[in-house]
A and B are shown apart, each in its own frame.
Chain A
Amino acid sequence: MRVPAFELVVPSSLSEAAQFLKTNQSRARLLAGGTDLVVRMKQRTALPEFVINLKNISGLTGTKRLPKEGMSIGPLTRLTDIAASLDINEDYPELAKAARSVGSSQLRNVGTIGGNLCLETKCYYFDQSSSWWTASDKCRKRGGERCYIVPSSTRGCFALCSGDTVPALIAYGANIRLTAPEGERVIPLEDFYTGKGIGHLDLRAGEILSEICIPPPDGVRAAFFKYSPRNTIDFAMVSLAVSVRREPAEVRIVVGGVASAPERCIDAESLLARSTGPENADEIARTAADKLRIISWVRGPVSYKKQMVQILVRDAVNRLQE
């Protein structure tokens, strides 16, 4: 399969990249590892006139422990390096585990954590070659009128948000820095996702994900699990991260892969926050599964996903309460 022709842009600074992106917003795409973008260009679901290669910009790669603020991760850090980083394995072991669960070793050797956070939402239909699509009317995410996942819907897209490191990072309370030509803003990673299948990221004109910051790990315990149809290469049917923080007291239960954004299980979180012993794990798990919005049958029936959420939440809670 060929990649359609494009013009390569190689900025040497973040502000240069952001300025170019802002000027050519709809015609340009950012290239980090390329394991998502190159596939989508081959599928003709991304047809940029310009590809902005970020790899020549210094300061976007690597992890750094900060004296007070926790950990700073460059978005261009490859998933292999996240998985192998001693600092991350020591401070945020479940993030390392989540990074290890992405794709295959070949994909992790090229794919970056920033790319994983920005991963395009997908469904069985959108994620196909253009020749496959010649046989039917285009779906909304491809510029058509229909949705094959929820045929009765009159608008919207139900493609899934599947980055495996996303739930783990949200569980650890990560923030992200978005840099634009006229300045930057720092937001909780959770707020980065709009919940829409089309336009799933809250990105303003010219903004580039430039840093991932995780608060100090003191007093935090977490558990991450991923369940997928095959236990390799596949995107998650359900990915789950649960965290319990002592000071300030906070509990998070984050489910990825079931909707167009990662979902928090708020009711189950408050049950877990009040829970005193392992006897409550079943009830917490049931609440999480019952209240969760699972919108799509992609990668497995909704009822099956609900059961998997329940099982994974129960296992995670049990592990954290050991």
Chain B
Amino acid sequence: MSNFRSILITTLLLLLHYYSPAQTAWLYTPVKDDDGKLKTLQAEIRKQYEKDSVSITGENKKYILEIYRDRLKGLNELFETKEPLYSPEAAAYLAGITNEIINKNPELKTLAPRVFFSRAWWPNAYSTGEGTIVFNIDLFTRLQNESQVAFVLCHELAHLYLNHSNKKITRYINTIYSEEYQQKLKEIKKKQYDKKEELDKLEMGFAFKSLRHSREFETEADSIGLRFMKNTNYNCKESLTCLGILDEIDEEKMDYSKQLPKLFSFSGYPFKTRWIEKEAAFFGVTAAVKDKLEDSLKTHPDCKERIKSLESILQRDSAAKGLPFVQSPEQFTQLQQLFAFEGINFCFQSKKVSRTLFNAIKLLEQNPQNVYLVTTIGNCFNQFFEKQKNHRLNNITDNPSPFREKNYNTLLEFISRLSLKDISHIGYHFMNQYSTAFSTDAAFSKAFQQIEKNYTETKSSN
């Protein structure tokens, strides 16, 4: 009996522990970067640029150097805008994966890559070609396990190992500035008629070739990346699930035309359906419009094709074995949770307020009682109010477009149809629902105070 009781209590405690995150909202604290490490990282990038600059040879040196300089400028801008995320925990986790790959693939050791997370809100990872590999936290939040992260890193390390980026630069410069090409350009320049047509032909021929190479590079990076992965303790089959996720990354699970009325309709200020009514397509343009030429100009092969070719490698080499996680799965989950919030915070700090609201609404559905998300949504409305009042709303919001994600476009149309009064009233009623529950939270109180002020300012207006 006592045994039974103790089992029961233990089970109950376990259950309580398991369910606790859903009942007590997770508290987000913005990531504090290791500024010293970031400075070192930036200095290393600069040093690498200087080293690369002196190593360029050939008659087109100055043009290659120009592109290297632009690349350095782009990387420096990342640091200036505080995009790199470099907390000891996140950096250690990423280093754990990178080291597992490099240690099991000695040929990678000389590369000494600088790998770090970026706070950018879109799902991407890239190798800049001079030793830097950037992993966007948004991509990290979409993946299911460490092995998938490892596959992405293997792919990017393969690009670096195969020197794809620099090869592309050199090929581009050496083609454009070759004697043959320059002769053609000079001839076209001298021509009185059909300049554009000739130039288009020349440029298109080069673009097709160059993009074909790009796609070949991607396929090569997949297979070499998989080769690196096989030598690690990661499960290579996750390369396929990872590409499957990437293939469906644009699919939207939430319908904002339903979510917005659910979130922003109040007894004191009901939702108006005209705020999200679809506009008739202008010139028949919908997001589906695409022509064959665009397909030919794609830099990446389709994920489905990539899966197919990796599948054949995996089958040939007998079923791969390995672990989904080499490091702690809890750490992976914690980082994912942290990054989801951190991405929103960075979006807001970067004044991409419509994007912030879009992501915060999505995350609020999973974390309905989260004070940070509620406060952020309130702050978005405060920002909209201030900017619209001064006719600068477009500085912090995107314009609706048939080419954007459907849900994001629905939100943008919604924002674009709100009057100043709508903005202050929706914001106020939304935050007011939480005013008792979150009254002790300083950030919430500050945002609510501002929203109350805006509300009062427009309450008496027509």
Q: Do A and B come from one complex?
A: no
